[in-house]
Structure 1
Amino acid sequence: MREDSNSYYRVFFAELRRLGQIEGQNLTVERYGREQYLSDAAALAAQVVRSNPDVIYIIDPSASYFKHETSKIPIVTITNDPVAAGFAESLARPGGNITGVSADPGPSIHGKRIALLREMFPSTSKLACIAPRVTWERLAGAPVRAAADAAGIALVSVPIELPASATTYRNAVAQASRDGADAIMVLDSPDALANRASIAESLADARIPAIHAFAEAVDAGGLMAYSFDLRELIKRMAGDVDAILRGANPADIPFYQVSKFELSINLKTAKALGLAVPATLLATADKVVE
């Protein structure tokens, strides 16, 4: 979680530096990781809040634990629907102590991903959706079911528990295969991003076409993705942190809602699966990995 890391934290700290917030000069950073508590996110949230920071920055599905612990310390996070999750009164005026970015453009995104996957693999008849259980039960389950129904495709859900590991996702892919799924949609979560290489490998072993929520999954060997620009979102979160450190009230900082998505396709993976990429799909791709 440093500026010299090979992760997205490099983007975050570089943007803070550009804005004048420089660690070791005018900024102190205390770092916490879920691995310290494994699945005990509540204990982690309690410890962080006890340290009484000026702002808490979270890339994690556990923002609800922090909301339970404090209504005063400003929090900047990335989430799906902050209004549905109870983090904000509205996107334009959050009204509480939480702001950040929303990676959920609305339920239509699921239909779009299903349509793209079906264009790549027209014989799709049974789709498995792999998602964190909390995401599936609170937010994604109903719209994904509606999108699958509209497409005339049978749906099976494969909820996973967080924190998830490579083994978690391998087991999820295996479960989807046992359930008779001939295609898979992997929803976005920090764990899916972190385990993208293992997920792609498991899907290749199972020989199941899949669509992902991160372009990085395609770089790691995934078939295709319809994704937002995570770097852009993280820069916006850094901007929110900077604004709060300069005195802004998170209640008045609008949640930014992602609106731009890009299609990525891995031709090598398509060939390994015996799929001929339609020319129309290839022509609309923003990124092609050969």
Structure 2
Amino acid sequence: MSGRLKNSWKKIFYVSLATGIVLTGILMAISGCKKAAGKTYTVGIVNPNLGDKLITQGFLEGMQKHGYLEGKNITYIASENPQTMDADIITMVARKVDLIFTVTTPATRAAQKVSEGTKIPIVFAMYDPVESRVVKSLLDHGRNITGIKIRGSTPIALEWLLKIVPNIKQIYVPVAFDTKAAEQSIKDVKDFISGKNIKLIISEVNTAEELKASLSSIPRGVDAIFIPHSIIVLSNMKTVIESAVKMKLPVVSAGHAQFKEGVVVSYGEDQLRTGSQASRLADSILKGTPPANLPVETADFFLGINLKTAQAIGLTVPNDILQQADHIVR
């Protein structure tokens, strides 16, 4: 056989071999895609705060956009009652769910405690995971957990309030210290007014009835009401707004969604977007990325103004502030 003929056969052999390898890789990839597409997941959702229900909604909508269809390739187990939260999480862990999504500090800490020793990943949306000792740091948490930090908007929310009502001397804060977030929220307010001629009046309430009674006896001289990250307060916003309107007091919140409920000035996370942001992390984890490789993210903050409530209490919001608002209720 001539050298030219031998070289030709060698070329044919190597080309065939390379083609076979490529085809094998393609077939394996297709097979893997079919396996991934055919997998079904079970995800637990723990949110004991009615005031944060839009976070859950944003998470579910986000998961659907990522291709997770309830009843087809994903099943959700929901827990919304604070009284049964621990038992619900125990059930989720016993069922070996693929992931737990938690909203609020208590829910996250409970899920972390119950799932300890398992490989069940947790994605959270909570006030401050570092100060609450859920993670070591935002970048290097080194655990089977990651999520969205919500803390950071309180000082700017209060700045917006002072721009609209510059002569504030007293701020009333109803709060139930039912979570670490409530404590941290009050600390943020105290840090902000430090050095300013503003008095903080804190009214501790532990039930909806106590909140209602407290609001009906707000002392004279109060210029505004601040809404902290407190489950009892956030779950009873209708009561707060009704009292505030009756007393002609502006309400400010560091939770963005509250402007829709009547809060005059809100600066904070958009709950739907926070939930969607968390769904992206959950999708990455379900596709195989370890939570430890996904740094904790901070929620995006937005300014909301409720002109309807402002008009009801006789408050004028300057046009330059309205032009900077992300959302306005007229």
Q: TM-score range by the shorter chain?
A: 0.7 to 0.9
Aligned partner of 1:60 in structure 2 is: 104
- Give how far 1:215 is off: 3.8
Distance 1:179 1:241, change over 3 A: farther
Residue in 1 that maps onto 2:185: 140
Kindly indicate whether residue 289 of structure 2 is the aligned counterpart of residue 244 of structure 1: no
Give SS of 1:270's match: helix
Cα deviation, 1:167-192, whole Å, max 9, x if unaligned, reads 454344335x1385321111245665
Aligned residue number for residue 156 of structure 2: 112
Matches within 5 A, 1:58-207: 58-62=102-106, 63-71=108-116, 72=118, 73-105=120-152, 109-133=153-177, 134-135=179-180, 138-161=183-206, 165=208, 167=209, 169-174=211-216, 177-178=218-219, 181-188=222-229, 193-207=234-248
Q: Gapped runs of 5+ residues in structure 2?
A: 1-44, 46-52
Question: Is the CA contact (8 Å cut-off) linking 1:93 and 1:253 kept in structure 2?
Answer: no
Provide the rounded CA distance (Å) in 1 between the counterparts of 2:326 and 2:58: 22
Structure 1 counterpart of 2:93: 49
The letter of the residue matching 2:58 is V
1:235-269 per-position Cα deviation (integer Å, ceiling 9, x unaligned): 111112222222222222111112x4222222232
| TM-score after normalising by structure 1 | 0.82
- Bigger radius of gyration among the two: 2
| Per-residue deviation, 1:23 | 1.9
Q: Secondary structure at the match of 2:74?
A: coil
Shift of 1:104: 1.3
Q: How far does residue 13 in structure 1 lie from its aligned partner after superposition? A: 2.2
Q: Is the 8 A contact 2:99 2:123 kept in 1?
A: yes
1:264 to 288, 304, 313: 304
Q: How many residues align?
A: 275
**What per-residue deviation string (whole Å, max 9, x for no partner) do you get for residues 105-162 of structure 1?**
3xxx33322222122222311112334412366423333212112332111223444x
**1:103 aligned partner, one-letter code:** I
Q: CA deviation at 1:203?
A: 1.7
Match of 2:77?
Answer: 30
CA distance in 2, matches of 1:145, 1:233: 26
Displacement of 1:202 after TM fit? 2.5
Output the CA distance in 2 between the equivalents of 1:168 and 1:51.
39
The Cα offsets for residues 3-26 of structure 1, whole Å up to 9 and x where unpaired, read as: xxx955443223212212222222
User: Residues 110 and 14 (structure 1 numbering): CA distance in 2 closer, same or farther, change over 3 Å?
Assistant: closer
Q: 1:48, 1:189 → 2: CA distance?
A: 26
CA distance in 2 between partners of 1:264 and 1:26 (Å): 37
Give the root-mean-square deviation of aligned CA atoms: 2.7
Taking the aligned partners of 1:203 and 1:265, their CA distance within structure 2 comes to 16
SS at match of 1:85: coil
Task: State the alpha-carbon separation in 2 of the partners of residues 168 and 235 from structure 1.
Answer: 34
Name the CA distance, whole Å, in 1 between partners of 2:196 and 2:131: 25
Specify whether residues 160 and 242 from structure 1 end up closer, same or farther in structure 2 by C-alpha distance, changes over 3 A only.
farther
> CA 1:78–1:113 in 2, change beyond 3 Å: closer, same or farther?
same
Query: CA separation in 2, counterparts of 1:82 and 1:255?
Result: 9
